[in-house]
Amino acid sequence: MSTIPENTANTEVIEFDVRTDEMLVNMGPQHPSTHGVLRLVLRTDGEVVSEVTPHLGYLHRCAEKIGENLTPRQWIPYTDRMDYLAAMSMNLGWALCTEKLMNLQVPEKARHLRVIIAEMQRIASHLVGMGAYGLDLGSFSPFLYAFREREKILDLFEEACGARLTYSYLTVGGATADLPPGWLQKCEAFLDQFLPVIDEYHALLTTNSIFIKRCANIGVMPADMAISYGCSGAVLRGSGVDLDLRRDGEEWYTNMYDGYAFEVIVEKEGHYPNDHVYPPVPPEAVLGDCWHRFYVRMLEVRQAVDLVRQAIDRYSAASGSYGEPVKLAEKLPAGETYLETEAPRGQMGFYIVSDGSPIPWRVRARSSCFCNLSVTSELCRNTLIADIPAVVGSLDIVMGEIDR
């Protein structure tokens, strides 16, 4: 049994304020939680972060300027290297923008083929986002589970175009080739096997009490802040803003989804669409926090499965061609055009100015990740250093798209 020393009775108690100095801490550019070569400069006072400044440009490759020296078809491989985790979506955005300038409509079969490929790419992209997010927060198993299923999607993409990361498959005029015999059956078999696996992801992360504590009520972004910073995709819908370009975008893009049945994944009146089949929102979570941004992506994975099934039925029933790529030397109409598509990370826009030659006079890209990253400083203010990976990871950024 411990006793109090006799001399402590006369001990003098001195009170004083503990003061710390501000310190600048570099997170990155080679840091696993920055999702690429991103440098974050943190201004800290002890463990509390008062300011976060992103520093970009470590992956800048002059892609837009290169686009002003190539024909649109030749520039397709450069779009692959923007969001390299959703390269099919980058191919699609550029192809649609060029087709809009040329007033070129692809055949019905090519339209449904594009929906199949785009939504399969959305699943593969969100799987990386889910697995890497779990890894950011200290859980290794979801990363392995996610990549196990993603490999099966990449196997299907490899059969379709011969590549597994940078595809150059969806191109101006349609696609570079039709889907090979038996591909649709393999895709349906994957969807049948994959659907029950989604419940495993929810058990691993979505409903995990530790994961909820790391994400719920962290990095809260109100709807007005998300709109003012130009956020889009799951980041915007995670704040309760009901906007999806597949439904609300320009007609040249929404025509691709004409006749498809789907609901925008966004919380309305405290509920998500069909939330009776999903894990409930935990009481600790606040609309616009890291958990909701993650949850929207998880629900979009199930939604994408349904869209692929619809597209397979329509593609099988459609007659005609899958669409043929335009000629490399074909001249573009003089003028300008801009088109945004709903890529896995948000609104991806392409802008073309043509002087009537086969090579565009100006090419620009509007990155969804750039706008989503711009809100980092607001979300990280007065958080702990340990919460920075949770906030940045919830934005699901890809630096190839930001730097271009």
pLDDT digits (tens, 9 = 90+) for 74-100: 999 999 988 889 999 999 999 999 999
Q: Which helix (H) or strand (E) holds 76?
A: helix 72-80
Asked if residue 16 is part of any domain, the answer here is no
pLDDT tens digits, residue range 181-227?
999 999 999 999 999 999 899 888 988 889 999 999 998 999 999 99
Do residues 252 and 339 touch, judged by C-beta distance below 8 A? yes
299, amino acid identity = L
Residue 6 CA: distances (Å) to CA of 3, 9, 21: 9, 6, 38
What's 94's domain CATH number? 1.10.645.10
Neighbouring C-beta atoms of residue 48, cutoff 10 Å: 13
Asked if residue 383 is part of any domain, the answer here is yes
From CA 122, how far away is CA 351, in angstroms rounded?
23
* Angle, CA of 204, 205 and 209, to the nearest 5°: 100
Asked if residue 326 is part of any domain, the answer here is yes
Kindly give the interhelix angle for 388-395 and 108-136, rounded to the nearest 10 degrees.
180
Query: Could you say which DSSP state residue 27 is in?
Result: E
Asked if residue 26 is part of any domain, the answer here is no
How many domains would you assign to the chain?
A: 1
Do residues 393 and 139 touch, judged by C-beta distance below 8 A? no
| Percent of the chain residues past pLDDT 90, beyond the cut | 51
Phi, psi of 32 (to 5 degrees): -60, -25
Question: pLDDT class for 5, splitting at 50, 70, 90?
Answer: low
What is the widest separation between alpha-carbon atoms in the chain? Answer: 97
From CA 205, how far away is CA 127, in angstroms rounded?
12
Asked if residue 220 is part of any domain, the answer here is yes
Asked if residue 5 is part of any domain, the answer here is no
Asked if residue 365 is part of any domain, the answer here is yes
pTM of the model: 0.90
Residue-range definition of the domain harbouring residue 354: 32-403
Residue 380 has pLDDT above 60, yes or no: yes
Asked if residue 168 is part of any domain, the answer here is yes
